[in-house]
């Protein structure tokens, strides 16, 4: 086996293209010794969901073809087929294709959203279910970061984010979140991808096919609202554009300099228009809360991966998003 190239992987895993006699494969590995809960166990949870969805939607989801132990490193790995010429959507949209091409890509993504949503489960998305999700993925990570005593900035009630003053999310009454989703039910749970970001959607060179990778099965509630917020994480809140850039942190605030490609902005306009068309106001506000949680839930991963500047930046972004949310 030869390693052909390294790919960008998660904070607690590595991803590369490997060549064996039978062809090219994408191999994702995780350390078996450190951070097992967020690395090894999560990787094989992803593997199970990826294969489950590949059986139901073989046209969209790539199955995991092999798992094993790398004897040289001691790491565990999973392998998927390598799709020659396919690029993730952040890469494709960052090339600023014509608007008609962006619209074609958006239609492919919309079809996946709608087909997954047609597969309803028995359980309902109740306020009690949402209480559990937001307690685990928003309230507790905020408390975790503040207790970690990463930076004096976290002790300030107000700081600046990208030049604008915001109130520190840790000083908000997050126990009142449930007041924003008190209708009896938001419908049934459905099948979801679980980590529906631009990086996890691959598009073919002719833009006629998409494949989905890196599913996630630990969202407490299997909600299309969560999937939709993960797209917005990249298109409205610019995670994909900001993740690799240098974060500037001082005693007053947090900032980062990056550019948002025109293709991303156009895709976001189409997504926002679609959500306004198919969802009511309460559903869209729930998605806004889910969007905030995408940046709080990553805080433990950022810290355990050694990226405390990233943790501070995305905590500040969550603070800014929450301020906008409650002002509307």
Contact 271, 231 (CB under 8 A): yes
Looking at 3.30.200.20, 1.10.30.50, 3.40.50.150, 2.102.10.10, the CATH number of the domain 2-81 comes to 3.30.200.20
Contact 290, 322 (CB under 8 A): no
User: Could you give the CA distance from residue 265 to residue 98 in angstroms, rounded to a whole number?
Assistant: 12
Domain made up of 87-327: CATH architecture = Alpha-Beta Complex (3.90)
Lowest mean pLDDT among 69-83, 128-142, 242-256, 296-310: 296-310
Contact 116, 227 (CB under 8 A): yes
Q: Is 112 helix (H, G, I), strand (E, B) or coil?
A: helix
Per-residue pLDDT, 218:
86
Q: Residue 169, by phi and psi: left (phi above 0), alpha (psi -120 to 50) or beta?
A: alpha
Beta-carbon contacts of residue 156 (< 8 Å; ≥ 6 apart): 168
Contacts from 146-150 at CB under 8 Å and sequence distance 24+?
146/170, 148/303, 150/303, 150/308, 150/311, 150/312
Neighbours of 215 (CB within 10 A): 24
Q: Does residue 25 surpass a pLDDT of 70?
A: yes
Domain edges within the chain: 2-81, 87-327
Query: In this predicted model, what pLDDT tens digit does every residue of 177-213 receive, in sequence order?
Result: 999 998 888 999 999 999 999 999 999 999 999 999 9
Mean pLDDT of the region 20-36: 92
Give ∠ CA 57-230-100 in degrees, rounded to 5.
75
Beta bridge partners of 212: 61, 201
Q: Is 277 helix (H, G, I), strand (E, B) or coil?
A: helix
Per-residue pLDDT, 254:
97
- Residue position matching structure tokens 């090339």: 95
Per-residue pLDDT, 152:
93
Q: Does residue 12 surpass a pLDDT of 90?
A: no
* Angle in degrees, 0-180, between the axes of helices 140-147 and 308-327, rounded to the nearest 10: 130
Contact 201, 82 (CB under 8 A): no
- Beta strands 14-20 and 23-30: pairing type? antiparallel
Mean pLDDT of the region 32-45: 88
Per-residue pLDDT, 149:
85
In 62-189, alpha helices (H): 89-94, 99-117, 127-134, 140-147
What single DSSP character describes residue 311? H
Mean pLDDT of the region 167-184: 93
DSSP for 30-59, written as a single string: E-SSSSTTTTHHHHHHHHHHHHHHHHH-TT
The pTM of this model reads 0.95
**7 confidence band (pLDDT: 50, 70, 90):** confident
């Amino acid at each position: 086996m030869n390693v052909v190239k390294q790919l960008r992987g998660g904070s607690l895993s590595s991803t590369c293209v490997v060549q064996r006699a039978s062809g090219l494969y994408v191999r994702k590995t995780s350390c078996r010794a450190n951070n097992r809960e967020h690395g090894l166990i999560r990787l094989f949870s992803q593997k199970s969901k990826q294969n489950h969805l590949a059986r139901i939607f073989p046209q969209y989801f790539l199955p995991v073809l092999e798992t094993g132990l790398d004897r040289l490193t001691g790491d565990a790995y999973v392998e998927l087929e390598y799709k020659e010429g396919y690029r993730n959507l952040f890469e494709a949209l960052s090339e600023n294709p014509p608007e008609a091409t962006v619209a074609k890509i958006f239609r492919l993504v919309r079809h996946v959203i709608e087909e997954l949503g047609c597969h309803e489960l028995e359980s309902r998305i109740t306020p009690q279910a949402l209480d559990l999700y937001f307690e685990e993925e928003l309230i507790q990570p905020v408390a975790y970061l503040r207790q970690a005593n990463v930076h004096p900035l976290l002790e300030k009630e107000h700081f600046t984010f990208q030049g604008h003053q915001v109130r520190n999310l840790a000083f908000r009454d997050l126990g009142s979140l449930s007041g924003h989703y008190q209708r009896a039910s938001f419908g049934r749970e459905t099948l979801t991808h679980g980590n529906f970001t631009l990086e996890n959607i691959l598009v073919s060179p002719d833009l006629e096919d998409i494949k989905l990778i890196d599913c996630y099965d630990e969202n407490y509630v299997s909600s299309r609202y969560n999937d939709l917020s993960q797209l917005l994480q990249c298109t409205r809140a610019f995670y994909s554009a900001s993740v690799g850039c240098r974060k500037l942190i001082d005693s007053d605030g947090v900032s980062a300099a990056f550019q948002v490609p025109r293709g991303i902005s156009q895709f976001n306009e189409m997504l926002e228009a679609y959500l306004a068309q198919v969802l009511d106001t309460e559903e869209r506000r729930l998605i806004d809360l889910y969007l905030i949680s995408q940046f709080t839930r990553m805080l433990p991963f950022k810290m355990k991966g050694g990226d405390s500047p990233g943790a501070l930046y995305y905590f500040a972004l969550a603070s800014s998003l929450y301020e906008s949310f409650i002002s509307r």
